[in-house]
Each structure stands twice: as C-alpha cells, then as structure tokens.
Amino acid sequence: MLVTREKGYRFFMQRHLACLPALLAILWSGTAAADPITTLKGVLSTYNVFVMGDMGSPANPYSSDSQGPVAVGGNAYLQDFTVAGTSNNGVNALTVGGKLNQLRATDGGNVFVGGNADFHNGSQGGATVNGTLTVNGTLIHPPTSYVGPRQTGPSPINFASLQSELTAASSQLASSTYGTQGTVTYQNQYNQKELDLFGTDPSLNVFNVSGALLGQIGGVNPNYSDGGGSFHINIPDGATAIINVDGVDVNFGHPGNFGFFCGAQTCTEQNGSKILFNFFQATTLDIQSVTGSLLAPLADITFTNGQLLGMMVAGSLGGPLYRTGEFHNVAFTGALPTPIPAPAAISLLIAGLGFLTLRKRNAV
C-alpha cells in the first residue's frame, strides 16, 4: 500500500506540478503587461506630448514646437508647429487617432493619421514630413514632401486602452503608500508667495499638495497686482519627486511672474527628468512654464507661453494662437513605485495551488 501511495504521489508531481511554472508565468506575465505603472513609465520615456482627446481647435490651432514625438487620440489642429524637432525617440514623430489639420509645419519622422489629413500644400504654406505618411482617411492636401507612397494601416497606439491604464496609474500614485513622504510649507511675505517642498530620501520623495494652494503662488491677476510667487523643490541630488496635486480646477504658474527652483538654483532639464506632477483629479488645468513631467489624464490643459521641461499626458490640450507653450524632450527617468500583482491574479494563483493540493490528497 505504501508503494502504491508513493507511486501515486510521484505521478501527481510529474503530471500536475510540472505545469506550475507555466501557470506562474502566465499569471505574472499577464499582470505585468497590464500594470498601469509600467505603462506610465513607457509613455513618459517616449512621448513628449501624449493627449487622449483633441490638441488645438479649428479656431485656435496649437502653434508652438515639440522637441519629441506627439501622440493625439482625437483630432489635431497644428499651425507653425514643429514636431519631433530634435528626436522621434524611435517611434512615429506624429500619431493622430482622428483627423489632422497641419499648416506650415515640419514633422521629424513618420506620421500616422487615423482619419482625414490636410497639410495645406499651396499658397498658405504646406508641411514637410521627414518620413513615411500613413493616412487611413482622405488625404485632402498632401504634404510638401514625404518618403515613399502614401500608406494605410492599423494605428500603432491603442488610445482607449492606454487612457484607461494611464488614468489608473494616476490614481495609484495618488492613493498608494510608497517612497518617503516629504513636507510642504507655504509663506507669503510682502505679497510674494513661496511654496517649499522638502524631502530627504535619496531615491523617491512623495509630496501631497493642495491645488488651491498651488494656484496662489503664480498670482491670479494678469497685471500681477497680487504679486508673484515661486515654487521650490528641495531633495537630494539624483532623487525623484512625485508631487500629487488635488483639485478639479487647478492653476499652476499662470498668468506668470513665477519662479521655479530646485534647491537654491533655477531648475534645469536634468532636474526635470526626476520630477513628476500628478494632477489626479483635475479636469481643467492652466499652466505656464513648468520643470518636470505632467500627468493629467482627465484634464483639459491650457498651456500659455513658456516651456515644459518634461513630458505631458493630458486629456486634451490647447491655448491661445501663437501663445501656446513649447515642449522640451526631457524623458522622465525618475523612480516610480514597483508594480504589484493585481489582487485577482493573486487570488487565481492561490485557488490554483489549493486545487493542486486537493488533487494530491486524492492521489495518495
């Protein structure tokens, strides 16, 4: 009887446990592929501008420059706008899920348009595409030049899926416990407002900032009669700052008269690569010059003048004609929380192990 039980147990081990590594691989690979933080890292290291909805409008086309690639899930209205002026980061210079209206522009690589495209080749001044051109809709006016014949094909980006994952990543960053919590202080002396962030962790510092308070430091009157302000980030060299900002309607540094400092010095692009602002509740966001990347997947962003030293994720993006802000191709290279397996996957794994244990008992 003992021999029979031993044979049964060995048979169980060979037949059932042999599949356990495959089961684990499926569970863990599936979890990682759908992890929002992993998706966020990929987007913030690749796309200078990533917009879920529309960029610009027929009345106010977006009219500035982007050093890196641009992806727009809705329609894009661009005028005198250079896309991927310094690098396309190994992807399409411009990807548009809807229709594209582009006047007097240069695209520094391949262009994909899911809908109709009008490059206004004629008296108004056309656009130059330094790469291939894929247009699935009607090509109303072709670019002045592009590589090869016009093509059609599937979109390289699933905007609906990424919108869901990036929104989830924003919520995770706002609600999870990770890194070291820093301190936030505010002072107003002689109508000069100052917001100071202090963190000591050499790796990851997390700050929670009130959107209402953030809106005070840039002043709210266009004539600056209410003074100006400054934003200070004080963390160790090489450390990351994740700044969670609450509030539905947020104003950051607009209309101006606003300084941005890292320690005692004006922030640089190198500083910007380690700073991430997470506007996890914002549906409207007004900005001017900002150092760091912006994650605002629900927000209609108005970017007036100035420059962003970082990457942007937005719900939609616009601004006044010829006074919209420009984008510097500063990839986010800072630390983010380590992805955690989804509870559903863990539950499935536990259930699977329980089933195998039950089979073992029956076998012996």
Q: How many CB atoms lie within 10 A of CB 256?
A: 15
Whole-angstrom distance, CA of residue 82 vs CA of residue 76: 13
Average pLDDT of every residue of the chain: 84
Quickly state the pLDDT bin for 256 (edges 50, 70, 90): low
| Contact in structure between 83 and 61 (CB atoms under 8 Å) | no
Q: How many CB atoms lie within 10 A of CB 14?
A: 9
Q: Which residues contact 244 (CB under 8 A, 6 or more apart)?
A: 173, 174, 206, 207, 208, 209, 278, 280
80-123 pLDDT per residue, tens = 999 999 999 999 999 999 999 999 999 999 999 999 999 986 66
**Helix/strand number for the chain, H first, E second:** 7, 29
Q: How many CB atoms lie within 10 A of CB 134?
A: 20
DSSP state of 55: B
* Average pLDDT of the residues in 38-58: 97
- How far is it between the farthest Cα atoms of the chain? 94
pLDDT at 126: 82
Q: Name the helix (H) or strand (E) containing 29.
A: helix 20-33
Say whether 165 sits in a helix, a strand or coil.
helix
Partners of 313 in beta bridges: 50, 295
- 173 phi, psi to nearest 5 deg: -65, -30
| Contact in structure between 329 and 67 (CB atoms under 8 Å) | yes
pLDDT at 30: 40
Name which of 64-68, 137-141, 202-206, 349-353 the model is least confident about: 349-353
Percent residues over pLDDT 70 in the chain: 78
* Average pLDDT of the residues in 240-253: 94
Partners of 233 in beta bridges: 197, 262
The beta-strand segments (E) located in 94-219 are: 94-96, 100-103, 105-107, 111-113, 117-118, 127-135, 139-141, 145-151, 180-181, 183-189, 192-198, 204-209
- 341 phi, psi to nearest 5 deg: -55, 140
- Domain map of the chain by residue range? 2-35+343-363, 51-151, 168-328
Residue 44 has pLDDT above 60, yes or no: yes
pLDDT at 229: 80
Say whether 221 sits in a helix, a strand or coil.
coil
pLDDT at 221: 53
pLDDT at 216: 79
| Contact in structure between 170 and 293 (CB atoms under 8 Å) | no
Query: What pairing do the DSSP bridges indicate for beta strands 82-83 and 105-107?
Result: parallel
Task: For CA atoms 265, 268, 274, 275, give the dihedral sign.
Answer: positive
Whole-angstrom distance, CA of residue 155 vs CA of residue 96: 9
175-223 pLDDT per residue, tens = 978 999 999 999 887 777 889 999 999 999 999 999 998 887 765 554 5
What predicted TM-score, i.e. pTM, was given to this entire model? 0.83
287-309 pLDDT per residue, tens = 988 999 999 999 999 999 889 99
- 232 phi, psi to nearest 5 deg: -120, 130
Query: What pairing do the DSSP bridges indicate for beta strands 293-303 and 275-279?
Result: parallel
Say whether 351 sits in a helix, a strand or coil.
helix
